[in-house]
Amino acid sequence: MRQRVVRVAITAVLVALILLAIPLALAVRSTLYADQRDTLERAALAAAVRVNPDYATGDPVELPPPGAGERLGLYDPKLILRTGTGPRTGDAAVSQALGAVVARDQTAGQLVVAVPVSHNEQVIGVVRASSAVSVVRDRVLLGWAALLGAAVLALTVAVLVARRQARALAAPLEALSRHSRAVTEGDLTARAEPSAIAEIDQVARAHNDMLHSLSELLRHERDFTANASHQLRTPLTGLQLTLEAGLAQDDTRLRPALEEALAATRRLHHTVEEVLRLAGSPGLPHRVTPDRPVAQLLEETDERWHGLFAQDGRRLDCGSQDAPADVRVPGGPVAEILGVLLDNARMHGHGSVRVTVRDLDDALAFDVTDEGGLRTEPGRLFARGHTGGGGTGIGLALARDLAVSLGGRLFLASGDPTTFTLFVPVRQDEGAVSAR
């Protein structure tokens, strides 16, 4: 921006100098030539008043001494030089002056002024004054040099002023840019400082107000998530303890229901923990401890969802193609993502549902496939709040965020049949999942 401001200022000054300097230079030239002709005319008039009408009969004539670089001469009506200096025969200016007019001419590198000498209303002679054109030309060049110097000085001052103004204009904008970069890097406490420019201050105040509102909105959302998760954990823990106490009574009739309720409570507890973890670092991958073998995760998934699909008259198959059964993955987050995908297949899909795991060396691919076709735009599948009907539009968006938090990726692999694929990076040498 600084260079742009300087260029604009210099361009404006150059245009102004050109528009002013060219006419002024022409005016200087015209004025100096006119002044020199006026000087010659005054010298010729001063000499003409000294001419005695009897000079033609031999009476001597004394012309005043000419100025530096000037010549004065008296010519009779026959164009013959009688006294002074000049060409021996009068030129065109002398001939013109014999007509009782002051003649001005420029010829042979000379400025010439001829003034008639009158007596009894008759022209009895002509006084001719002349000077070299080079004398005036030198003065014109000196005037132009002075004009050029003034233009250079004006341009220099303009450049200095423009650079100073450019710094004054660019400094607050550069500070605002640094502030914006700090906000982009996650510092929501940064605020733009005021400057001496009202328009930029207005932008800075609007930016600060927007950032304050955004910070408050994010704080309220995070506080709500943390508060909700915290408040849910307490009753869930109490419910879990109650169910465990019920199991300790060894009531064979209630034991299956209590065990199922206890398992659901534990899953809900893990869900709350995952939501709380995700709210603490949204969109940021980080290291999560792998705690569950793939085979166990598939078995638990089948136990949890097999009955629900069976109630709808549908089949669920969970299996591993070539993935080692002992490879561990983060059980909680991966189970939550698979739960979202299976619930989505149950609500919106058709026919049998298959969950398969493929080994990709440095990652595992979990494929969830049903026999239905995609009924919504692929680009809006993971948009929060968008639903194909019968849901809240949060599940797929939450599953994608969970996948990113693991350093993995969740995407739609096929629209017919509908297939979602979850990539989970693994390091088999350490048996851990690491964030990329």
The string of pLDDT tens digits covering residues 294-349 is 888 898 899 888 888 888 899 999 987 777 777 888 888 898 899 889 988 888 88
Residues 328 and 257 in one domain: no
pLDDT at 26 over 90: yes
pLDDT of 280 reads: 57
Q: Where are the alpha helices (DSSP H) in 49-112?
A: 92-97
DSSP 197: -
Residue 42 located in a structural domain = yes
Number of Cβ within 10 Å of residue 213's Cβ equals 10
pLDDT of residue 432: 39
316-320 and 353-359: which strand pairing?
A: parallel
* Same-domain pairing of 7 and 138: yes
Band (pLDDT 50/70/90 cuts) for residue 162 is confident
Specify whether 8 is located in the same domain as 137: yes
- Measured CA to CA, the distance from residue 381 to residue 242 in angstroms comes to 40
Q: Is residue 167 predicted with pLDDT exceeding 90?
A: no
DSSP letters spanning 281-299? STT----B---EEHHHHHH
Question: Is residue 316 domain-resident?
Answer: yes
Note whether 136 and 23 are same-domain residues: yes
The mean pLDDT value for 388-398 works out to 69
Looking at every residue in the chain, the average pLDDT score rounds to 82
Q: Is 134 found in the same domain as 6?
A: yes
In the structure, what pLDDT confidence band is assigned to residue 127 with cuts at 50, 70 and 90?
A: very high
Inside any domain, residue 24: yes
In a domain, 64, yes or no: yes
Check whether residue 253 and residue 368 sit in a common domain.
Answer: no
pLDDT of residue 379: 66
CA-CA distance, 61 to 47, in Å (whole number)?
Answer: 10
Domain membership flag for residue 393: yes
Domain's final residue, options 223, 256, 280: 280
Question: Of 142, 162, 185, which marks where a domain is finished?
Answer: 142
Average pLDDT over residues 383-402: 72
pLDDT of residue 401 exceeding 60? yes
Provide mean pLDDT across the span 278-290: 61
Based on the fold, state whether residues 329 and 395 are members of the same structural domain.
Answer: yes
Residue 191 maps to a domain = no
CB-based contact 80:89 (threshold 8 Å):
yes
Residues 271 and 312 in one domain: no
CATH code of residue 407: 3.30.565.10
- Based on the domain organization, do 98 and 215 belong to the same domain? no
User: How many CB atoms within 10 Å of residue 388?
Assistant: 15
List, for residues 76-126, the tens digit of each pLDDT value.
999 999 899 999 999 999 999 999 999 999 988 899 999 999 988 889 999
Q: Quick one: pLDDT at residue 350?
A: 87
Q: What is the CATH number of the domain that holds 231?
A: 1.10.287.130
Total domains, the chain: 3
Mean pLDDT of 239-255: 69
User: What domain range includes position 97?
Assistant: 2-142
Does the pLDDT value for residue 396 go beyond 50?
yes
Q: Does the pLDDT of residue 201 top 70, yes or no? A: yes
Query: Quick one: tokens of 147?
Result: 């004009």
Distances (CA, A) of 102 to 84, 129, 131, 136, 389: 19, 11, 16, 21, 107
Distances (CA, A) of 303 to 111, 264, 298, 434: 118, 12, 9, 28
In this structure, is residue 103 part of a structural domain? yes
| 299 and 365 part of one domain | yes
Residue 431, domain member (yes or no): no
Domain end point (choices 280, 305, 325): 280
Which of the residue ranges 168-177, 247-256, 385-394 would you say has the lowest mean pLDDT? Answer: 385-394
Lowest mean pLDDT among 59-68, 224-233, 259-268: 224-233
**Distance in angstroms (rounded) separating the CA atoms of residues 170 and 176:** 10
Please give the average per-residue pLDDT across 253-266, as a whole number.
70
**Predicted TM-score of the model (pTM):** 0.47
Closest by CA to 301, choosing from 348, 265, 333, 342, is: 342
Closest CA to 368 of 325, 332, 319, 403: 319
Radius of gyration of the chain, Cα coordinates, nearest whole angstrom = 51
For residues 64 and 91, state if they share a domain.
Answer: yes
Are both 307 and 274 inside the same structural domain?
no
Backbone angles phi, psi at 75, to 5 degrees: -120, 140
Could you tell me the pLDDT band of residue 8, with boundaries at 50, 70 and 90? confident
Share of the chain above pLDDT 90, in %: 28
Q: How far apart are CA 177 and CA 134, in angstroms?
A: 62
CATH number at residue 36: 3.30.450.20
